[in-house]
Amino acid sequence: MLGAADIARRAVLAAIAASANGRLVAMASRSPERAGAMLAPYPDARVTESYEALLADPEVDVIYNPLPNHLHKEWTIRALEAGKHVLCEKPFAMNAIEAEEMASAAKASGKHVMEAFMYRFHPAMRAFVEQLRDPIHVEATFGFTAKDPSDIRLQAPFGGGALLDVGSYAVSVSRWILGEPGEIFARARIERDIDMTTSGLLMFDGDRTASVWASLESPGAENLTVVAAGGVHRRERPFTAHRDPQDPYQLMVESFGDSVLNDRPVAIPPAESIANMRTLDRIREASRS
């Protein structure tokens, strides 16, 4: 694990430890004390002296990269070049160009890379999407209030902003259901050079549409509504079900582990991540034009 990220403490460390086909080996962090505290429940795991030392460790097969968004490309590519498979946190990159470079590096290295969109592994979420018939409109909402001014999600140089953080989920699920959008309309409220709230309208073939809304300045809001020919389908908390008995983080880790151990295609291929980044790029451009 690269970095002592909060998502690791809350979900991914436990998911790896509980997985049927993986083992937590080591964490590298610029704060060894924080890393040591996070690894306390996992006595077999160790803290390495640097990111470079982790990549050089022959006992490590897979790198989980939860670093800030602006470091996803650099350290994913460095890990791939070091002969490691990489599970990279969402959003996959800062933009589609970076995502393409990461996919090219994976192909050149012969190693697997996958974006960690854990919500797509939840059985209930998969069942929700699979049962839809002739969807007409998708409404995907994800917002909360980022209160700490030092939060990296509020820092432009780190790839902050609502669109990349929670908007990536809304765009992902809309594309999962409807395919690739044609025309895109969007608006954003910008503060300190980041989008605090972004709204987008995506147009698809057959006059189908999706409304996506992402915010870092709203009350907690996380909903998915799909209007289909046969009725209206709703799912609350479609993206953050890690407290569910069927832990999507563990299911994601095990799926990626299966791809690594058996050299099978990953569940979320790089081409899907590139396509998602292209749509995010288009929304960003439309919202600021």
- Residues that are catalytic: 90
Report the C-alpha gap between 252 and 184 in whole angstroms: 31
Contact between residue 256 and residue 86 where contact means Cβ atoms under 8 Å apart? no
State the amino acid at position 74 in one-letter form.
Answer: E
Residue 138 gets the label, from left (phi > 0), alpha (psi -120 to 50) or beta, of beta
Full strand arrangement of the beta sheet holding 113-116: 62-65, 85-89, 113-116
Report the C-alpha gap between 112 and 109 in whole angstroms: 9
Task: Supply the Cα-derived Rg of the chain in whole angstroms.
Answer: 19
- Angle formed at CA 33 by CA 240 and CA 35, multiple of 5 degrees: 35
Report the C-alpha gap between 193 and 209 in whole angstroms: 29
